[in-house]
Amino acid sequence: MKDFKRYLVTAALPYANGPLHIGHMAGVYVPADIYVRYKRAKKTDIKFICGSDEHGVPITIRALKEGVSPQQIVDKYHAIIKESFEQMGISFDIYSRTSNKIHHETASEFFKKMYDDGLFEEKETEQYYDEKAKTFLADRYIIGTCPVCGNENAYGDQCERCGSSLSPDQLINPRSTLSDAVPVKKKTKHWYFPLQNYESWLKEWILEGHKEWKNNVYGQCKSWLDNGLQSRAMTRDSNWGVKVPLPDAEGKVLYVWFDAPIGYISATKELTSDWKDYWCKEDTRLIHFIGKDNIVFHCIIFPAMLKAHRGFVLADNVPANEFLNIEGEKVSTSRNWAVWVNEYVKDFPSCEDVLRYVLAANMPETKDNDFTWKDFQDRNNSELVAIFGNFVNRTFVLMHKLCGGKVPKLHEEILVDLDKTLIENIQQSTLNVQRSIEEFKFRDALFEVIDLARKGNKYLQEKEPWKKVQGPNEENQKLIDNCLHLCLQLTANLAILINPFLPTTAKKMLHLMKVVDKILDWDNAGKLKLLSVGYSLRPPELLFRKIEDEEIKAQVEKLRANADKALNGKVQAASGKGQVVSPKDQETSTRKPEIQYDDFARLDLRVATILSAEKVAKADKLLKLVVDLGFEKRTIVSGIALHFNPDELVGKQVVIVANLAPRKLKGIESNGMILSAEDENGKLHLINPEEIINPGAGVS
For residues 283 and 700, what is the distance between their CA atoms, to the nearest angstrom? 67
* CA separation, residue 556 to residues 109, 326, 575 (Å): 49, 10, 31
- Give CA–CA dist 690/435, Å, rounded: 59
Decide whether 165 or 273 has the Cβ nearer to Zn ion: 165
- Judged by beta carbon, residue 161 or residue 545, the one nearer Zn ion is 161
**CB-wise, 148 or 225, nearer to Zn ion?**
148
Backbone torsion region of residue 173, taken as left when φ is above 0, otherwise alpha when ψ lies between -120 and 50, otherwise beta: left
Residue 166 C-beta: closest distance to Zn ion, Å:
8
CB of 150 to Zn ion, least distance (A): 7
Sheet holding 231-233, edge to edge: 135-136, 121-130, 184-194, 231-233
d(CA 151, CA 164): 11
Q: Compare residues 166 and 519 and give the one whose CB is closer to Zn ion.
A: 166
Strands (E), 170-292: 172-176, 184-194, 231-233, 235-237, 252-254, 284-289
CB of 148 to Zn ion, least distance (A): 4
Distance between CA 669 and CA 264 in Å, rounded?
67
Partners of residue 315 on adjacent β-strands: 286
Closest CB to Zn ion among residues 146, 354: 146
CB of 651 to Zn ion, least distance (A): 20
Least distance (Å) between residue 163 CB and Zn ion: 7
Nearer to Zn ion, 165 or 596 (CB): 165
Residue number with CB closer to Zn ion (148 or 184): 148
Single-letter amino acid, residue 177: T
Whole-angstrom Cα distance, residue 380 to residue 543? 11
When the beta carbons of 152 and 585 are compared against Zn ion, the nearer one is 152
Which residue's CB is nearer to Zn ion, number 149 or number 207?
149
Helix 474-498 to helix 503-513 angle (10° resolution) is 150
- In the complex, what is the shortest distance from the CB of residue 149 to Zn ion, in angstroms, rounded to a whole number? 3
The binding site for Zn ion (CB under 5 A) comprises 146, 148-149, 151, 159, 161-162
Closer of 161 and 507 to Zn ion (Cβ): 161
Q: Output the smallest distance, CB 173 to Zn ion, in A.
A: 14
Provide the minimum distance between the beta carbon of 683 and Zn ion in the complex, in angstroms, as a whole number.
18
Calpha distance 112→135 (Å, rounded): 25
Q: Specify whether the CB–CB gap between 317 and 311 falls below 8 A.
A: no
User: Closest separation between CB of residue 569 and Zn ion, Å?
Assistant: 23
* Backbone dihedral angles phi then psi of residue 135, each to the nearest 5 degrees: -155, 150
**Alpha-carbon span 487 to 265, nearest angstrom:** 46
Give buried/exposed letters for 487-504 (b at 16+ CB in 10 A, else e): bbbbbbbbbbbbbbbbbb
CB of 144 to Zn ion, least distance (A): 11
Of the two residues 161 and 652, which places its CB atom closer to Zn ion in the complex? 161
Rounded Cα distance between 203 and 196, Å, is 11
Say whether 270 sits in a helix, a strand or coil: helix
Strand 284-289 with 6-11, pairing: parallel
Q: Beta partners for 176?
A: 142
- Nearest approach, Cβ of 160 to Zn ion (angstroms)? 8
